[in-house]
Amino acid sequence: MCAVSAALALTACGPGRPADASSGDREAKYKRVIEDPHPRPADVIEMAGAPTGVVRAGEGSLLLTYYAGNVEDDEGPAASAWRIIDPDGATVAQHAEHADAEATRAAYKGVTGGFVRVPPGEGAQGAYALDVRGKRQKVVITETPLRTRPGDVLLAELEPTLIYRPATRTVAPPAGVPEDAVRLAVDERGTIWSLDQSLTQDPDRIRWQLDGRTLGSTAVPKPYAGGVLVARGGTAALSLTRDESVSGLLVTTDSGEHWRTVLGGGVAWRDLKRGPESLVLDVLDDGRLLVGEEGGRYWLADDHTNSAFHELKTPTTFTSLTVHSKTLYGIADATTATYSLVKGEGLWISRDGGRDWRRQE
């Protein structure tokens, strides 16, 4: 039976059907769309088949990004689009533009009141805000470091490190980031968590600070090195790597008072074959951790203690899986540009920890 969600007009009825009757017709339309100097958003979205990313604003609106690239080559024409969907499932704004296959793809972060574009290169130029109706707004760009506070969002992790303050629509570097930081996270309280890498034989360290004041630090246990760092709701976690493989997690659930090394917990660490660069690590608002790898398997913690995990059952293979609040967003897509659609292609959403999934229509 097909399940329907009124909130986002979702369906679990299986993969969508191409609008064209044959693969040849679809290929021809795909080429027309990416070569069009002024493509229609609906055409780009239809040809893309699945979004490349999904972010959520504070009040629940979603911004989906789409990209259709040159299939025959990694150069040449392309097309990109975004679409904003309100919490009731209605499309309120969309935009498309012609692109170059070699150009950096646009990415956005969800913030209070809307969305902010991540700068495409070095520096903060190219950042702008969109409200939940899709209206573009200027942002203030400053080189003066700001002390992070609640509501600030980490916009760019490194080179350069940038935060975004929704209250003033300001993009700036955060104050007090250690010079030897190689990973960063900013939680909803404004606490900056950093992974500091020593130039000596000393172990890596996690450091956390608030309002320019260091609250504490802890060493990464030997023989491991630090990888991905996430933090939210008093929970912080760092992936532990050894010999180019992910081996476990270093976790705190009480804002750094106590730390635990998780090398088991039900996660098949040895089955993560694609290396640390493909690791997915995220934290839900309730402190539960999500861990896995792109195009592979995923596990979700049973509770906020993050001592035991269970494997998620997904309706199809996800090329990416992200968390916003307590909702899981999985994207099924081809790993390289193609004219046709893969099985189950599209955006899948679960609001109950991965027990039930519905695909956006």
Residue whose structure tokens are 């795909």:
30
The one-letter amino acid code at 54 reads V
Give the other-Cβ count within 10 Å of 211's Cβ.
Answer: 13
Percent helix, strand, coil in the chain (nearest 5)?
A: 5, 40, 50
Residue 212's pLDDT is 82
- Listed in sequence order, the residues at least 6 apart from 91 whose beta carbon sits closer than 8 Å to its beta carbon are 83, 84, 85
Strand-pairing partners, residue 346, are 332
Structure tokens at 86: 């309100």
| Residues with pLDDT less than 50, the chain | 1-21
Q: pLDDT tens digits for 70-88?
A: 998 889 999 999 999 999 9
Residue 283's pLDDT is 96
Measured between alpha carbons, how far is 216 from 193 in angstroms, rounded to an integer?
10
Structure tokens at 266: 């039900």
Residue 360's pLDDT is 87
Residue 126's pLDDT is 87
Q: pLDDT tens digits for 228-279?
A: 999 999 999 999 999 889 999 999 999 999 999 999 999 999 989 888 999 9
Residue 23's pLDDT is 64
The one-letter amino acid code at 250 reads L
3-state secondary structure (DSSP) of residue 238: strand
